Structures are given as C-alpha cells and as structure tokens.
Structure 1
Amino acid sequence: MIRLEHINIVVKDMQETLNFYQAAFPHWSIRHQGNANWYGTQRNWLHFGDEYNYLTFNDNGSGENRDLKGSQLGLAHMAFEVRDISALLTRMQSAGFEPHNLGAKNQFRKNMYFIDPSGFEIEFVEYLSDIPGQRNNADD
C-alpha cells in the first residue's frame, strides 16, 4: 500500500495560511508545532491535519510562488476531494476567500480552485459518481 501522508510547504504568513486551511478543513487541527533552523534560516513549523493526513507549514518563505499560468518547474496545484463542495464554498467565502476558477462543467464531478495566501493553487473536487471511469473522464 502507498498513500500520501503529508505535503510540506513553505509559506509567507503562518496565520493567514492557517486561516485558509482551517476554513477548508474544519475537522483538522494543529497536530504538532515548533521551530527549527533550516540551512541558516530560523522558521516556525506546524502540522495541520487529522490522524492520517496533514499539511506541514513552514514560515519565513521569501520571494514569489511560480507563475501559475507559466510553464516553470514547480507545483501546479494540489487537489483535495470533498463530500460537499457547496458547503466548502460557503465556508471559504465566510472566511474571506473567493474561488479564482470554478472548474470545467462535468456531469460526474464539481470542482473549483482557490489561491492560498502564499500563492499555491488548491483544487477541491466533489465526485458525483462512484464509478472510476466516470470520475476520471475528462469529457463532459
């Protein structure tokens, strides 16, 4: 068995980042936190998630994230499956975050994209079918 356990990202502002992901994942919490020296840069870190999956945030990020419309190397986006995308949208908007792309129309899924406070594109998808061939079909 292989499963993705965590994603480790460097962020600009820890609290703004935490606000974004707390709105998206209200059932997650801070699992651990601390500080460390990363090759000469002091930074705070925290693990935000549940017992099985989490995101690691590290502050003191510098510079800008890659151009999401460009072809530079780097992370294009992360995607998370949700059970109720309408409820997610309501939570995100209540926390002050608006989607930047509502995704393509597809009869078997709904999706939308947000830009987090550090410039990472985050996709949320709700599948409307349990049949893998339908869920994974890129056509309408």
Structure 2
Amino acid sequence: MYLEHVNLVVSDLDAMLKFYRAAFPHWRIRDEGKGEWYGKPRNWLHFGDDYHYIALSDHGEGANRDLAGHSVGFAHFAYVTNNLDAVISRLQAAGFSIAKNGADDPFRKNIYFVDPAGFEVEFVEYLSDIPAQRNLNQEKARQEVL
C-alpha cells in the first residue's frame, strides 16, 4: 500500500504549478478539467507522474491555517529526494525561499518550503540505507545515552 495522491484546495493553480514544477521537473499534468463543488465552479488538475500526484482545485477561499499556530489541520507533507541540494536550488531559482531548516541529523537532511497556497512541504534526503538509522529520533537517542 502507498499514498497515491493528496488533494489540495487552492486559489491559484498557476502559482502552485510554478512551485511544484520546480520541485518535480519530471512531473506533468496528468489530467485536468472543470466541474462544480457544492455549487461553486472549479478548475482542477492532477500534477504528477504515473504513480503519484497532487490533485489541485482552484475553488479555495480565505487563508490556509497559521502554520506557527495550534489549530487543527494539515501540518505538512514530505517528499524523499536523492539530491536535496538540487531541489533547493530549483525552488530558489523559481523564486521560493526556505521556510525553515530541518534538524541536524547524521542520517538525513531536510528542509521546509511553504507553497503558494500556504502548505508546508518538507523535502528529505536520507544519508543511510539502514531503516533503524533513517527513522532514529535523535533527541530520544541523546536522552537514552545520558
């Protein structure tokens, strides 16, 4: 079993495509169309590869939840990459800034960006093929040593 897609309601499809095209230059618009969602017209598209995609619909209203707050809602989602530096370079070249740095960890490096709709997206590069190391909670490991 694996996650096939996430469905994000946004207000600007073009801005979202600019961000995700920079992050995933090999992805494409798989399908798109128009419709109605509970009485409101919308454009929608699926952006991804043959196995994974992001569904985007442009009928969003208002702002996304405050990521620094404590409201219930979507916190972030993450993608694994083999070259984090290349992802960072592509996103920065497209005009997007790093939102926050990831934790200092010997087995992975990660970074967070916020997409144009206000969703936080983590990109992670694992530096180990050993699952126990990749999934190790460094803070907990430090406490167990003390």
TM-score between both structures, scaled by the size of structure 2: 0.93
How far, CA to CA, are the matches of 1:67 and 1:78 in structure 2? 15
The alpha carbon displacement at 1:84 in A equals 0.1
**Equivalent residue, structure 1, for 2:13:** 14
**Equivalent residue, structure 2, for 1:86:** 85
Alignment gaps of 5+ in structure 2: 140-146
The alpha carbon displacement at 1:137 in A equals 1.0
* Higher helix proportion: 2
The answer as to whether partners of 1:22 and 1:28 remain within 8 angstroms in 2 is yes
How far, CA to CA, are the matches of 1:70 and 1:93 in structure 2? 26
Helix, strand or coil: the match of 1:100? Answer: strand
**Equivalent residue, structure 1, for 2:36:** 37
Helix, strand or coil: the match of 1:9? Answer: strand
- Superposition misfits of 4+ residues, deviation over 2 angstroms: none
How large is the RMSD of aligned CA atoms in angstroms?
A: 0.8
How far, CA to CA, are the matches of 2:25 and 2:129 in structure 1? 25
- AA partner of residue 108 (structure 1): F
Find the structure with the greater CA-based Rg: 2
How far, CA to CA, are the matches of 2:2 and 2:84 in structure 1? 23
TM-score between both structures, scaled by the size of structure 1: 0.97
Alignment gaps of 5+ in structure 1: none
Helix, strand or coil: the match of 1:134? Answer: helix
